[in-house]
Amino acid sequence: MLLCGCGRYADFALPPPDPNGPRPPFRWQADPEPVIPREGATDVLNPSVIRWRGEYLNLYSEYDGKTWHTALAISKDGEHWEKRGRVLSPAGWEGDSIAANGSALGSGDEIFYWYQAGDPPRIALAESKDGEHWTKNPQPVLDPGPFGSFDERGVSDPCVIRAGEYFYLFYTGLDRARRQRLGIARSKDGEQWDKLRTNPILEMGAPGAFDENGLGEPAVWSSGGEWWMLYTGRAVNEQRRIGLAKSSDGAHWARDQSFQPIAGDQPWDKEVVCDPAVEVTPTGIRVWFGGGDRRSPDQNLHGQIGIATLAVTR
């Protein structure tokens, strides 16, 4: 009854996963140095990488000490990046603190970019032909849920994929107890979304687990007969690591208990590894990720962006 009269809800599942391609066991292999350093910024995090017209575009988040913006970098190979500067900043209903933490997807001759903005956080949409010049939707496309819902106090960290005739949006929901859990919505046009009636799809970990204090920043793909999700887990002390979950239908998820959560092993990412973005390749999953050498719930991590592979070990 709580779901009636506030937002749109439906029962659904994703199409069957791709039976081909990489499958576990995976081995994490990360380059030792960041591929996008923070340089003059306080943090650079939340990469969202797509192939577009023969190049890689990376729409990543940049924090200037006060405000989160979306910036653009371009690469031929996904490893060596040329920064192009900020392309989106908060304005209007978005407030003045964030227009970032987004998910890009090419569709036809346009790039769609769903991102987090506003207070409480909502999910917005912008569109572009080239990745540099953007037109924002005038209103958010996904709002917090009704009283008592798992996302009553905010929706954030979108990850959007296309499967069959639908877009599927995986996101972080914040409830009135400030708990962060993961949910999903689907849409035919990228603007009108139906949330899964049985959200959330993944709960926080048990006491003592790496993700006992919250989940966020999902990155989803299909290969080897399963749907897979890398996500950020928060410990009580705000150390962050990346975990792996799997699903046969995209609506019911379970942690892969055989997968060791990914922790940083370099000085620049020793405290935080977060914000995965993925590309499926024949030999494994290429992952761009955020890392930092300071623990913090949101920013001031000395965040930088790295690259790694979930390599197939058999």
Q: Read off the pLDDT of residues 224-282 as tens digits, 9 standing for 90 and up.
A: 999 999 999 999 999 999 999 999 999 999 999 999 999 999 999 999 999 999 999 99
Establish if 279 belongs to a structural domain: yes
What distance in Å separates the CA atoms of residue 106 and residue 313, rounded to the nearest whole number? 31
Establish if 165 belongs to a structural domain: yes
What distance in Å separates the CA atoms of residue 132 and residue 303, rounded to the nearest whole number? 23
Establish if 15 belongs to a structural domain: no
Across the chain, what does the average pLDDT equal?
96
Looking up residue 60, the CATH number of its domain turns out to be: 2.115.10.20
Q: How many domains does the chain have?
A: 1
pLDDT digits (tens, 9 = 90+) for 140-190: 999 999 999 999 999 999 999 999 999 999 999 999 999 999 999 999 999
Quick one: what percent of the chain has pLDDT higher than 90?
A: 95
Establish if 249 belongs to a structural domain: yes
Establish if 4 belongs to a structural domain: no
Q: What is the pLDDT of residue 170?
A: 98
Establish if 85 belongs to a structural domain: yes
> Dihedral sign, CA of 124, 104, 23, 216?
negative
Establish if 10 belongs to a structural domain: no
Residue 3 has pLDDT above 80, yes or no: no
What distance in Å separates the CA atoms of residue 267 and residue 138, rounded to the nearest whole number? 42
290 within 8 A of 272, measured Cβ to Cβ = yes
What is the value of pTM for the model shown? 0.96
Q: Is the peptide bond before 146 cis (omega within 30 degrees of 0)?
A: no
Give the structural domain span for 288. 27-312
Establish if 7 belongs to a structural domain: no
Q: What is the pLDDT of residue 61?
A: 98
